[in-house]
């Protein structure tokens, strides 16, 4: 981990169609954002907000039920343009690495920017932590965010499918994986003979 570098842990929640047969022209829109900014291994700040969808403003029952988000919450949220401005403010702080769980967050952000005629706000490296996790542990399948936390014997932060809680949980997994990488990168462990001064031990038993 580069200590002076900014790491942005981001999670978005999106609109969902009522059924698999998408309504004509439907595409997922960001309706909630959670951001955790980390520098020098410390959380610098967090940001959380609902976002008002523009193309399909009415949430489906499936979306409200699955994400536990109500219509009035997104109606009173920030606009997508305001969200992009906020992301640009983070970008202007300096070199950043964007870390998400899965690749959908950045895909949907990029697509939403195209639909709104806005520039994609990030220039830095983007990391899909779920793929890093999969490669690191040799899993055959990608693991869900909270399942990954539980595999570490931990619990997720707050409530699953709450954007800020998921962003915080992603940060927590990142720290656990980084610690494991450092552990594996250590030199070969010393033998017990290297660790124990047998002459002192024998003298002790000789007393």
Where are the chain's structural domains? 6-206
Backbone angles phi, psi at 201, to 5 degrees: -65, -45
161 counts as catalytic: yes
Mean pLDDT on 7-34 = 91
Q: Which of the two residues, 120 and 134, has the higher pLDDT score? A: 120
Helix (H) or strand (E) holding 73: helix 71-75
pTM: predicted TM-score of the whole model, two decimal places = 0.82
Q: Supply 87's token pair.
A: 């992301």
Q: 56-88: per-residue pLDDT in tens? A: 999 999 999 999 999 999 999 999 999 999 999
Backbone angles phi, psi at 51, to 5 degrees: -130, 135
Confidence class for position 147, pLDDT limits 50, 70, 90: confident
Catalytic residue among 13, 29, 32, 91: 13
User: Looking at residue 51, what is its pLDDT?
Assistant: 98
> How many degrees, rounded to 5, is the angle at CA 97 between CA 33 and CA 63?
25
pLDDT of 193 strictly over 50: no
Q: Which of the two residues, 142 and 6, has the higher pLDDT score? A: 6
Q: Residue 97 gets which letter from DSSP?
A: E
SS3 call for 83: helix
User: Looking at residue 199, what is its pLDDT?
Assistant: 52
Antiparallel, parallel or unpaired: β 125-128 and 96-100:
parallel
- The domain 6-206: what is its CATH number? 3.30.420.10
- Sign of the alpha-carbon torsion through 151, 157, 160, 161: negative
Residues 6+ apart with CB under 8 A from 17: 23, 26, 60, 62
178 counts as catalytic: no
Of 70-74, 105-109, 197-201, minimum mean pLDDT range: 197-201
Q: Which of the two residues, 15 and 180, has the higher pLDDT score? A: 15
Mean pLDDT on 104-120 = 97
> How many degrees, rounded to 5, is the angle at CA 49 between CA 46 and CA 53?
145
Q: Which of the two residues, 186 and 136, has the higher pLDDT score? A: 136
Q: Residue 68 gets which letter from DSSP?
A: T
Q: Report the DSSP beta bridge partners of residue 11.
A: 34
User: Looking at residue 19, what is its pLDDT?
Assistant: 81
Beta carbons of 171 and 100 less than 8 angstroms apart: no
Beta carbons of 9 and 38 less than 8 angstroms apart: yes
Catalytic residue among 155, 161, 178, 188: 161
SS3 call for 198: helix
Confidence class for position 121, pLDDT limits 50, 70, 90: very high
């Amino acid at each position: 981990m580069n200590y002076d570098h900014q790491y942005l842990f981001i999670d978005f929640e999106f609109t969902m169609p009522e059924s698999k047969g998408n309504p004509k022209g439907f595409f997922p829109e960001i309706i909630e954002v959670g951001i955790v900014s980390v520098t020098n291994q410390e959380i610098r700040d967090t940001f959380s907000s609902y976002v008002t969808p523009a193309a399909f403003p009415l949430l489906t029952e499936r979306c409200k039920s699955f994400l536990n988000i109500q219509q009035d919450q997104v109606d009173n949220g920030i606009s997508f343009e305001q969200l992009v401005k906020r992301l640009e403010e983070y970008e202007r702080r300096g070199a950043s690495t964007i870390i998400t769980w899965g690749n959908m967050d950045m895909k949907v952000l990029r697509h939403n920017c195209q639909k709104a005629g806005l520039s994609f706000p990030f220039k830095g490296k983007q990391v899909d932590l779920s793929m890093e996790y999969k490669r690191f542990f040799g899993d055959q399948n990608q693991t869900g965010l909270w399942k990954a936390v539980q595999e570490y014997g931990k619990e997720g932060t707050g409530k699953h499918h709450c954007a800020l809680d998921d962003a915080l949980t992603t940060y927590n997994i990142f720290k656990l994986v980084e610690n494991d990488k450092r552990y594996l990168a250590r030199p070969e462990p010393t033998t017990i003979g290297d660790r124990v001064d047998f002459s002192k031990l024998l003298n002790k038993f000789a007393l």
